[in-house]
Structure 1
Amino acid sequence: MIDQPNSPLRQRMIEDMASRRFKEKVQKDYIRHVRNFAVFLARSPDTATAEDVRLYQLHLAEQKIGAPSVNAAVAALRFLFNVTLERPELARHLAGVHMPRRAPVVLSQDEVSLLLDAAPGLKYRAAFGVAYGAGLRVSEVVALKVSDIDSQRMTLRVEPGKGQRDRYVMLSPQLLEWLRDWWRAARPQAWLFPGQNPVNPMSARQLSRVVRETAREAGIAKRVSPHTLRHSFATHLLEQNVDIRVIQVLLGHAKLETTALYTRVAVNTIRDIASPLEKLKDLVGRVQHA
């Protein structure tokens, strides 16, 4: 059984994930989803049939499990069947749930200024500045090292980014000044934003909590997270007419269609586009007087 700590199946699946360098969190999530499947079956997953897979998906639907959780379970079971059990015929019966992409929450530049001004101290002002000024994910912000700052080339090295893709992003003079203020005050040695124990970086949860609290204190009514700052970075660049493919590289997106989502919220860009009706203005006037 996969839920037994020392079961051969569990150990093999862990080894399969480790050999592919899955992150520890992903490994734990996959094991949890496969364990849930085993509990549903009341026997080991290596005895599963196509009908078992169908019934389990029906069970998830009846339990009104959210689409993200269903898709995570599907990903875990696909890995189990395709890789660990080498039974791809079962994986073919798994179907994910379509999730409509909602337009992201974006702050105005005034709201970003309010948030940065309200940051509780140099550390968080610098961390907020990195999230907005360089468009980093919260996991990337907290994983930054002092050595990732290149003040000569004015870049930040993001290592490792999502999907293990390293990249460089711009380092603005204003952000560099805030980072230097923070470094002079705290002298961090390895991690740019260390946690309570300097051996470890600040947690993503901690940074997210402080962002939410700061937004409330600043009087920002929108639901704000570190990812909101990343969304705002991309949207504001698009409104400045920065090429969308450049924004894609800065964000570390594998697909352009992911970056294109920001065209739905780039208000300045939308507002500045001339409606085709304007081209008919003179013609409409002539028709009326004919």
Structure 2
Amino acid sequence: MNSITLRKIWHRDAFRIGIFFERDFSVISVLKKHKAEFSRTKLCWYVDYTTANYQLLLTLFPDLKIVKSVVHSEPTLVTDSGSRDLSPIASSAIQLGTSSLGNPEHTKNVISFAQKVRLQLLANVGKYWVFKMHYHQEVKAQLLKIKGVYWNTNYKCYMALRHEQVKKEVEAVLQTSPFFGTDYLHKDVSYIGEKIKVLPHYEAINFMEVYVPKLVAVHEKIKRFSMAKYSKTKDCYLLPAAPLVLESLQLQFEPMKIMFLVDLPKDYLQKKHLPNRKQLDLNKTQETILSTLPEKAQPFMRAMVDTLLALNYSSSTLRTYCGSFHQFLKAFDYQNPEAVERGAIVRYLGSLMSRGLSATSGHSMVNSIQFYYQQVLGKKEFELRLPRPKKEKKLPSVLTMEECLRIFQVVDNPKHKLLLLIGYGAGLRVSEIVQLKWSDILFEEQKIHIKNAKGKKDRMVMLPYSIVTSLQLYRELYKGKHYVFEGQFAGEPYSTGSVQQVMRNALKTSGLEKKATVHTLRHSFATHLLENGTDIRYIQQFLGHSSIKTTTIYTHLTKTAVDKIQSPLDRMVDINSKKKLED
């Protein structure tokens, strides 16, 4: 187990005990069991700042390190490039959870809300004010309720429409006035006379060079193109040389009235130059995997990645297998896997299980090791018989039809309501919802063609009659060209994270106390079909399950037959009550 360090941090408007360590599945499993949470802003796991939690951590990890300090106060505004970390954990364990009266270590400084959340106003982008701040759950919820304010996931910032009413409402929530300027939307300045030059990139003809004026708003807008790369040597942006990309560029900058000077040879723009989303996703996944490894381990991981790509595995499988294999290499100090004996591997897996690793993570670890020895090293004749951890049999969470209806009724946005309805009505995965194209919806046949789904399989599912009219009206309203549910930029699909956020918001507004995600709607779809008497083999086809065993889990969830079965205790009470009445 690697070294673990405790540090006192300020997170989500309260002091917490920050737990810092290099990524280790066994440590993560233990922390999850004791309800620790992960902070993306602090890049650490954390628990509440209490004596009980501190003593528990000492018991779980006897060899942990504690970063000590003398003075502790609430966070203040950081203006330099120094660390964002706050005062570490208290030097005395007894101070945890005690009153701050008479204790100089817990003296509070009177600071504004803006300082507490590190509020920062950035340069305007188009018709929006842009600002960022540290995470604050209540303030975030209030901001997103304001019409004209949304969260930009790519750049981790808030964007507010430059409108007088929006300015007033946002400043009230942020308790800071004035915060925005008076450069409202109707006062927007156009850039008449500015030019964007588009030239060929002869070093790689599948790209074109885009030279833009030195204006922050222009640079911010072009950087939002997911395929844009900046060339330092040529001081320009490189974008795929495809007609759709150039057309999108011109549409984005049309409101700014910037002139386009396109000097490209005839037939230079080709549709084939546009990389597909699979290619982009795989390239990004490869970069992420290899960037976290030391140099001596790079050849082993590269061989793993190349073999997975050659066998046409998905980016999701790539992340899972390589993540587990990274942990395996790390456990053996990144030495050549061929030098690791079978007994050492078995002992390593046993130690993971003894530390509380889940069965799912255990299976992923075994699969990744088996894959490397058999597929990468080519030892087909050598079967490495590794012990398989027994998998827990958990029943999925399911909503009743009434609960599903309550969730749909509280969603007002047409796009948000429709994506939840189609997810439940056709039993789709969240990835299938966002990748759905208009060409996949067969209105005349009343079907939806799901293409290249999990396991690279196509299937046909039902198109619910009740949403056909809504779909057609939605198409006229949003006028999407390709994807049914487009994202922030034209031609790009909605993100899976945004869909999950829609579900979380709907669940919260409905007042239901059940934990549910978009995938819960898929479970509910299967369960409700089974309760209605649908043959389980048809349900298997609708869900796209390879084995009927996967689908049979829903037989344990149906309430139609279960409701008819009476507990022997209830029967005993009924008989006893009946005898009393007769007497």
TM-score tier (shorter) = 0.7 to 0.9
Q: How does 1:132-171 map to 2 (within 5 A)?
A: 132-171=424-463
Cα deviation for residue 206 of structure 1 reads 2.0
2:560 is the alignment partner of 1:268:
yes
Query: How many residues are paired up?
Result: 274
2:506 alignment partner, one of 200, 204, 214: 214
Deviation per CA, 1:54-112, whole angstroms, max 9, x where unpaired? 12202312332222211111111111111001235776232332223222221111111
Q: What corresponds to 1:192 in structure 2? A: 484
Q: How does 1:237-256 map to 2 (within 5 A)?
A: 237-256=529-548
| TM-score, reference length from structure 2 | 0.45
Cα deviation for residue 268 of structure 1 reads 1.9
Deviation per CA, 1:233-259, whole angstroms, max 9, x where unpaired? 111111111111111111111111211
1:21 alignment partner, one of 294, 312, 336: 312
Q: How does 1:66-145 map to 2 (within 5 A)?
A: 66-87=358-379, 92-145=384-437
Tell which deviates more after alignment, 131-140 or 82-91. 82-91
Contact 1:134/1:233 (<8 A) preserved? yes
2:330 is the alignment partner of 1:12:
no
Paired letter, 1:147? S
Higher RCO (CA 8 Å, separation ≥ 6 residues): 1
Structure richer in strand, relative to its length: 2
2:515 is the alignment partner of 1:257:
no
Paired letter, 1:129? L
* CA distance in 2 between partners of 1:45 and 1:181 (Å): 58
* CA distance in 2 between partners of 1:120 and 1:69 (Å): 39
Q: For residues 154 and 67 of structure 1, do their structure 2 counterparts lie closer, same or farther at Cα, with a shift above 3 Å needed?
A: same
Q: What corresponds to 1:174 in structure 2? A: 466
* CA distance in 2 between partners of 1:98 and 1:60 (Å): 13
Flag as ranges the 4+ runs of structure 1 deviating above 6 A: none
Paired letter, 1:15? D
Tell which deviates more after alignment, 157-166 or 27-36. 27-36
* CA distance in 2 between partners of 1:47 and 1:206 (Å): 45
Paired letter, 1:227? H
Structure 1 SS opposite 2:356: coil
Q: For residues 138 and 91 of structure 1, do their structure 2 counterparts lie closer, same or farther at Cα, with a shift above 3 Å needed?
A: farther
* CA distance in 1 between partners of 2:383 and 2:495 (Å): 35
Structure 1 SS opposite 2:419: helix
Please tell me whether Structure 1 or Structure 2 has the larger radius of gyration of its CA atoms.
Answer: 2
Deviation per CA, 1:1-41, whole angstroms, max 9, x where unpaired? x8346833322221211121111122122222111111110
Q: How does 1:224-239 map to 2 (within 5 A)?
A: 224-239=516-531
2:320 is the alignment partner of 1:38:
no
Q: For residues 258 and 66 of structure 1, do their structure 2 counterparts lie closer, same or farther at Cα, with a shift above 3 Å needed?
A: same
* CA distance in 1 between partners of 2:392 and 2:328 (Å): 26
* CA distance in 1 between partners of 2:514 and 2:466 (Å): 25
Paired letter, 2:402? D
* CA distance in 1 between partners of 2:527 and 2:511 (Å): 22
Paired letter, 2:324? H
Deviation per CA, 1:144-166, whole angstroms, max 9, x where unpaired? 11111100101001111211110
* CA distance in 2 between partners of 1:269 and 1:175 (Å): 30
Q: What corresponds to 1:286 in structure 2? A: none
Contact 1:41/1:52 (<8 A) preserved? no
Contact 2:342/2:384 (<8 A) preserved? no
* CA distance in 2 between partners of 1:187 and 1:94 (Å): 54
Contact 1:239/1:268 (<8 A) preserved? yes
Paired letter, 2:302? Q
* CA distance in 2 between partners of 1:271 and 1:172 (Å): 28
* CA distance in 2 between partners of 1:90 and 1:63 (Å): 29
Deviation per CA, 1:249-278, whole angstroms, max 9, x where unpaired? 111111112111111111124335899xxx
Cα deviation for residue 120 of structure 1 reads 4.3
Paired letter, 1:109? M
Deviation per CA, 1:178-208, whole angstroms, max 9, x where unpaired? 3223222211211211222334322222212
Structure 2 SS opposite 1:267: coil
Contact 2:481/2:491 (<8 A) preserved? no
Q: For residues 182 and 45 of structure 1, do their structure 2 counterparts lie closer, same or farther at Cα, with a shift above 3 Å needed?
A: farther
Deviation per CA, 1:211-252, whole angstroms, max 9, x where unpaired? 122111101111111111011111111111111111111111
Cα deviation for residue 128 of structure 1 reads 0.5
CA RMSD in angstroms comes to 2.2
Q: For residues 184 and 254 of structure 1, do their structure 2 counterparts lie closer, same or farther at Cα, with a shift above 3 Å needed?
A: same
2:342 is the alignment partner of 1:50:
yes
Identity of aligned residues (%): 28
Structure 1 SS opposite 2:455: helix
* CA distance in 2 between partners of 1:203 and 1:76 (Å): 28
Q: Structure 1: where are the runs of 5+ without partners?
A: 276-290
Structure 2 SS opposite 1:163: coil
Q: For residues 197 and 76 of structure 1, do their structure 2 counterparts lie closer, same or farther at Cα, with a shift above 3 Å needed?
A: farther
* CA distance in 2 between partners of 1:244 and 1:126 (Å): 27
Q: For residues 273 and 159 of structure 1, do their structure 2 counterparts lie closer, same or farther at Cα, with a shift above 3 Å needed?
A: farther
Paired letter, 1:36? Q
Contact 1:235/1:266 (<8 A) preserved? yes
